[in-house]
Amino acid sequence: MSNKSFQDYNQPDKGGHYGPYGGKFVPETLIPVLAELETVYRDALKDESFVREFDGLMKDYVGRPSPLYYAERLTKALGGPEIYLKREDLCHTGAHKINNALGQVLLAKRMGKKRIIAETGAGQHGVATATVAARFGMECVVYMGEVDMQRQALNVYRMRLMGTEVRPVTAGQRTLKEAVSEAIRDWVANSRTTHYILGSALGPHPFPMMVRDFQSCIGREARAQILEKTGCLPDLLVACVGGGSNSIGLFHPFIKDESVRMVGVEAGGRGFAIGEHAARFSGGRLGILQGNRSYVLQDENGQIALTHSISAGLDYAAVGPEHAFLNDIKRVEYERVSDDEALEGFKALSRLEGIIPALESSHAVGWALKAFPSLKKGSLAIINISGRGDKDIDQIRERLHV
Ligand SMILES: *Cc1c(COP(=O)(O)O)cnc(C)c1O
């Protein structure tokens, strides 16, 4: 594909590849399970009753469409583009994760599976999964690294309140990567009865495609909303990139609109040394982690690197394969924002707009603080506020001493 035209963008291929990225790198026993999932998913999309149930719950249970809000005071403060915020923080459970969890629980139901498992980092995906499992009366186990359980104690309790068992993972760095490994292990052993609701645009095909499709409501709504409010397409989209689901959800419906610039913001952490950040595009290279090929942070021997971010949801060594491809074809730019810069974003949005964002989303705002003052005044920007900040309050209190 030429770098100039994205009109024929159509990813992934039949095998789930996005150029050299993606695919299915899983134990043999999961190959037929993934094939079944893909078939059921493709059939469901063509089934009117499935689509009607999904759309109905998105509206009345999740609260979609989420608003597109004109951030007047943030716009004035930065003096650049007119800033619109896509308010995924207002979704049921407080983040975009519920969009995907709802889609996948309906697929589990369609497959006749009664047990749900998931992994979680920030706890938001665990909460979203616990929520839909309760809604559909399914047994639910969520794997979570011990360190993340401490960082996100509120979300652990929310999951338990809804009847989910949260299993602490004590291996390795005790964060998201180890939790994903445990969830995959459980799935290999129990796939006949169990569906694994993977939480980001990651893992083996068809997950990156399916998660993207379930999250693309963000971009489809944003597109219609900004056209209605301004009569124009946006000039710029900004979203934070952990595994890559809220960002691909916003970006995907705009990929063919070549006038729309897109920026994905990764966790720059405390510095540039390996282990101090989770910026896969500035520090990673081609590798395989947990089911697919993508940009992966690794040491010179190919060992998966340690990562750091102030936000658990961005703290992961790999990035979704479609982002790796979008980076290669230069359709999306990937930038890094440090812990401190994210905190500036957190403070700015809280004080200027009365919106307390998740630390993940604060990275997108943090980039805007740096970049927007030198961008064209009057142009249109959309920042995705992927979640609300309640879950991060204890951590914030330690850092900001407000
Ligand atoms: C999980 C999470 C993220 C990061 O995950 P993506 O798949 O990259 O979207 C970002 N923001 C919030 C609020 C989250 O909960």
Domains in the chain: boundaries: 18-59+96-211, 65-94+216-400
Q: Residue 287: how many CB atoms within 10 A of its CB? A: 17
pLDDT tops 50 at residue 1: no
Task: For residue 19, count CB atoms less than 10 angstroms from its CB and return exposed for 0-12, middle for 13-18, buried for 19 or more.
Answer: middle
> CA–CA distance from 353 to each of 29, 72, 76, 182, 349 (Å)?
50, 8, 11, 40, 5
- Binding site membership of 360 for ligand 1 (Cβ less than 6 Å): yes
Q: Tell me how many degrees the CA angle 210-144-301 measures, rounded to the nearest 5.
A: 80
Scan for tokens 């996100």, then name that residue.
Answer: 152
Pairing label, strands 261-269, 285-289: unpaired
Q: What is the whole-number distance in angstroms between the Cα of residue 137 and the centre of ligand 1?
A: 25
pLDDT at position 312: 87
Task: Give the type of residue at 269.
Answer: G
- Binding site membership of 203 for ligand 1 (Cβ less than 6 Å): no
Length of the chain: 402
Model confidence pLDDT, tens digit, residues 181-212: 999 999 999 999 999 999 999 999 999 999 99
CATH number (3.30.70.120, 3.40.50.720, 3.40.50.1100, 2.60.120.10) of 18-59+96-211 reads 3.40.50.1100
Model confidence pLDDT, tens digit, residues 59-79: 999 999 999 999 999 999 999
On whether the CB atoms of residues 217 and 64 are closer than 8 A, the answer is yes
pLDDT tops 50 at residue 2: no
Give the residue whose CA is nearest to atom 7 of ligand 1: 245
pLDDT at position 182: 96
Give the torsion sign (CA, 170, 175, 178, 181).
positive
- Binding site membership of 320 for ligand 1 (Cβ less than 6 Å): no
Give the pLDDT band of residue 30 (cuts 50, 70, 90).
very high
Active site residue 119: yes
Question: Distance between CA atoms of 57 and 312, rounded to whole angstroms?
Answer: 28
pLDDT tops 80 at residue 54: yes
pLDDT at position 114: 97
Active site residue 282: no
Of 200, 309, 361, 386, catalytic = 386
Residue 204: asked if its preceding bond is cis (omega within 30°), the reply is no
Query: 65-94+216-400 sits in which CATH class?
Result: alpha beta
The model scores a pTM over 0.85: yes
Model confidence pLDDT, tens digit, residues 213-238: 999 999 999 999 999 999 999 999 99
Active site residue 386: yes
> Identical fold at 18-59+96-211 and 65-94+216-400?
yes
DSSP state of 120: E
Q: How many helices (H) and strands (E) does the chain have?
A: 16, 14
Q: What is the whole-number distance in angstroms between the Cα of residue 177 and the centre of ligand 1?
A: 15
Tokens (6 digits) for 183: 């969830």
Taking residues 346-371, what's their average pLDDT? 98
Question: Distance between CA atoms of 298 and 303, rounded to whole angstroms?
Answer: 5
Question: Distance between CA atoms of 324 and 387, rounded to whole angstroms?
Answer: 24
Give the residue whose CA is nearest to atom 13 of ligand 1: 387
pLDDT at position 4: 61
Q: What is the whole-number distance in angstroms between the Cα of residue 2 and the centre of ligand 1?
A: 30
